[in-house]
Structure 1
Amino acid sequence: MGKKSVPSPTRQVELCLKSLESYGQSKHEAKIEHNGEYLDGIYSHKTMKTYMNLCCTFSKWAKAEHGVKKLINLKPEITEKYFEKLKAEGKSPWTLQTVRSALRKLETGVKVRFQRTIEIVPKNLTLPIRERKARKNRGAYSREDADRIIGAVRKENYPRGLMLEVQDTVGLRIQEVTKIRVHDIDFKKGVLTVKGKGGRVRQLPVPQNILKKFREVIERENLTANRKIFTEKIREVERQVKRICQRLGIPEKGTHGFRHHYAISEYLRLRMSGLTDRQARLAVSRLLGHNRLDVTYSYIPREFTDLANLIVSVFHLTLLRNAQRGV
């Protein structure tokens, strides 16, 4: 019998990374199940696509420049030369960090798929520090500005206004709003089932006034269980929000500004209910579909914590005084 043909390096990469598929699972819950240990899975389609492209590009380069046909023959010194090449090409620190993460995941994939423990990324590999830059047009609308924008959009196009209202009161991404189907809404429990990034599913409470408006749309359009509530295009909604913000003289923060407002409102509500800063941030992160405390700092800046502490103190002091007065 002839020798078995060896799969191409890119095919090997595909086999290794595909063995780590964990779509739809919650990384946070999986971490709890594994007692906080490092997790091997890849939890979103977007991450898989990014890592696949980066690892395939690396494997092609390793074959062309160093004759590496099997992933198990990769060496840290080869990877070090690859990063020198990327730096010479002027790749950003963020890109370099992502490549390193992808190759580390490939190490895990090789172990899972081929039962071979190898070191691809040098342990002493040092990369430039990533500097965070504030994104343009990000942040939360004030309560007044949010109401003015939603009201103006609703007058021109009711469905789009309702989409923004759902973002503002439920905290969804605009992409998640467009995917809501009739069967996702539990009118009895007042809960909406949302499939977010990476296929992760979460259930969120919905205010009664929004449930009423959902029901009106369903009855008016005679929608069946599998039909979408909204058929508006995201780009058109975003353009309308930008145009109305310019007309009203409101700093434009895109549709995501309503999600930011929701995060801050929920954080304050949770703090006043007695939760600590950390507990409230974790709860908000799960409502947003992140499950990580550090993500909340882009929605609720660190400096906002001091203001929240003051608001909570005044709130509880007012309750105490009212109780003493018998109010």
Structure 2
Amino acid sequence: MARRGRTSIVREIKESLQAIDKIGESKREAMKVGTNGIHSKKQMANTMSDAQNFVKWCRSEHGVKSINELNEVHYVSYIAYLSEKGVSQGHRVNVETSLRLLEKGFKERSKRFEDNPLTLIRFCPEKRLETSLRGSDAKNRSYTDAEVQLIREKCSDEVTKAVDLMREMGLRVKEAVNVRVEHFVPNDIGNGWCLNIEKGTGITKGGRFRQVNVPQSLEQRLESWIAYKSPEERIVNVSYSTVRDGVNAACKRGGVEQAGRGCHGFRHAYARERMNQLMTSEQKQMISRVLENRKMGRVADYGILREHDKQLYAEAKKAMDQIHSELGHGKNRWGLAMRYMSD
């Protein structure tokens, strides 16, 4: 086996992930023969970012200089650190996936440079620390209006702008800090404004199209934000990590228990508010019935047989799909509805 000199831990990450680069190959076929790895550019970018954040933290906090020096204590401590920062459980689940890919890639990389790669220390625990949210543990993760106000009062002006965009328009934290003046246009249906993003590359998740009416309650603030700014300027002039840290600090100062809600709690609050605006009480009862079906592993419309109930189901689903569209999701996302709309 080939050997070589010491290399930086950040470079080790790049080489490790390159070792399991399967972009363009069938994920299903790879899983059949046990050679699956990273199968999309998006997954590669996300894994690279999560892995770099992890090793940089380990280097700073524990003096780790090589992936081979990592152990389960570093892994467990880092996930706990993310939880304390207020990073959502869903994101922590994704981070764990990234770290497991890093470990897999490092083992593959090491086959080229080590005499016996099987002696490498395993740093990922056998069982995950977080469990994916599939609906069985779905619960209300939204901030109340009173909590939002407490958070706003403890944030800087720029972070407060991001909080308002997340709570009032359902934007993700990265979307809130990347949206520009040019994305806000006069509303076609009357007075007011509309967020209209035709090409979302670098802004929305997956670069998806996004169109959301600006609520009347936000119009005056928005107009003050965009005044005297050029079209290409961002509304919020801080990074998404600054917003996350700012919200976390504001919650602590304001006595708001985050309970893993992080910045996503604002989107949950937006979804619930839109549900109250768009759905009748009967339609909301139908949504609850559908979500109960999904939790039990049934199809969404199980037991919905009467003509009146079928019509109610269609109307409730239409409203749900609109809410998901405003959140940047696709249609028929009952699993996501469990996260955002369950009690």
TM-score with structure 2 length normalisation? 0.49
Higher relative contact order (CA 8 A, sep 6+): 2
Contact 1:282–1:293 (CA<8 Å) still a contact in 2?
no
**Which one is further off, 167-176 or 258-267?**
258-267
For structure 1, the residue ranges without an aligned partner over 5 or more in a row are 1-9, 21-40, 65-81, 96-129, 305-327
Q: Which of the residues 262, 269, 277 maps onto 2:270?
A: 262
Q: How does 1:1-327 map to 2 (within 5 A)?
A: 17-18=23-24, 42=40, 44=42, 46=45, 92=126, 131-132=131-132, 139-150=141-152, 152-153=153-154, 157-189=156-188, 190-192=193-195, 193=197, 195-219=203-227, 222-252=228-258, 253-272=261-280, 274=283, 276-277=286-287, 279=317, 280-291=319-330, 292-301=333-342, 304=343
Structure 1 segments (4+ residues) deviating >4 Å: 10-14, 45-64, 88-95, 130-135, 273-276
CA distance in 2, matches of 1:54, 1:284: 38
Contact 1:167–1:177 (CA<8 Å) still a contact in 2?
yes
| Corresponding pairs, count | 220
1:159 CA drift (Å): 2.9
Query: Once the two structures are superposed, what CA deviation does each residue of 1:199-253 show, in whole Å capped at 9, x if it has no partner?
Result: 222211211342332222222xx22111111112333333333333233322134
Distance 1:250 1:56, change over 3 A: closer
TM-score with structure 1 length normalisation? 0.51
1:168 CA drift (Å): 0.8
Contact 2:19–2:109 (CA<8 Å) still a contact in 1?
no
SS in 2 for 1:224: coil
Distance 1:179 1:131, change over 3 A: closer
Contact 1:171–1:258 (CA<8 Å) still a contact in 2?
yes
CA distance in 2, matches of 1:229, 1:161: 11
Contact 2:167–2:266 (CA<8 Å) still a contact in 1?
yes
Query: Which residue in the other structure is 2:31 paired with?
Result: none
Query: Once the two structures are superposed, what CA deviation does each residue of 1:132-164 show, in whole Å capped at 9, x if it has no partner?
Result: 4799xx9211122212322x14xx633322221
Distance 1:53 1:238, change over 3 A: closer
Contact 1:181–1:225 (CA<8 Å) still a contact in 2?
yes
SS in 1 for 2:210: strand
Query: Once the two structures are superposed, what CA deviation does each residue of 1:265-313 show, in whole Å capped at 9, x if it has no partner?
Result: 1223232285741514443333222322202322223xx2xxxxxxxxx
CA distance in 1, matches of 2:251, 2:18: 49
**One-letter code of the match for 2:165?**
V
**One-letter code of the match for 2:322?**
A
Contact 1:159–1:230 (CA<8 Å) still a contact in 2?
yes
Query: Which residue in the other structure is 2:94 paired with?
Result: none
Distance 1:141 1:90, change over 3 A: closer
For structure 2, the residue ranges without an aligned partner over 5 or more in a row are 1-16, 27-38, 49-97, 291-316
Structure whose alpha-carbon radius of gyration is higher: 1
Distance 1:201 1:58, change over 3 A: farther
Q: Percent identity?
A: 20
Contact 1:44–1:197 (CA<8 Å) still a contact in 2?
no
CA distance in 2, matches of 1:11, 1:255: 32
